[in-house]
Amino acid sequence: MIGKVDHIGIAVSNLDESVKFYSEILGLALHGTEVVEEQKVKVAFLPVGDTEVELLEATSPESPIAKFIEAKGQGVQHIAFRVENIEAALEEMKAKGIRLIDEKPRYGAGGARIAFLHPKSTNGVLIELCERK
Ligand code: ZN
């Protein structure tokens, strides 16, 4: 079911500062940014090999990213796995007794269709399933 690690989602409090680190220090190329209103985040995309680092900055205190940073500080927030068919993947997870945050796929940065699995069902890791056409 899982194809590869699609991206690693990292919660940051200052996007420009973090982009600087990944581009100027680590040498990754910034491939653009996007504001995802629904999630109240601004996302920066930095491809690395056949996966990607996604830096996420909250655009509102209600953002899940703001809440994450408040509780845990900056850092890795989720791991996204690429799947071929997200509906089928969600059905499979449900059938295996995994608690879902998203019963149905929703819009994700970069035009992906995404859904999160609940960390209580995954030994503490927020896992995102991600389908891209
Ligand atoms: Zn993600």
Ligand 1 centre from 55 Cα, in Å?
Answer: 9
The rounded Å distance from CA 7 to ligand 1 centre is 6
Could you give the dihedral angle defined by the CA atoms of residues 44, 46, 52 and 55, in that order, rounded to the nearest 10 degrees? -30
Domains in the chain with CATH codes:
2-131 (3.10.180.10)
CA–centroid distance, 13 to ligand 1, in Å, is: 16
Distance 129 CA to ligand 1 centre (A): 8
pLDDT in tens, 59-103: 999 999 999 999 999 999 999 999 999 999 999 999 999 999 999
Q: Please report which confidence band the pLDDT of residue 1 belongs to, taking 50, 70 and 90 as the band edges.
A: confident
Type of residue found at 108:
G
Ranges assigned E (strand) in the chain = 2-12, 33-36, 41-48, 51-58, 75-83, 106-108, 112-117, 127-131
The three-class DSSP label of residue 12 is: strand
- Cα 133–chain centre separation: 17
- Write out pLDDT tens, residues 12-58: 999 999 999 999 999 999 999 999 998 999 999 999 999 999 999 99
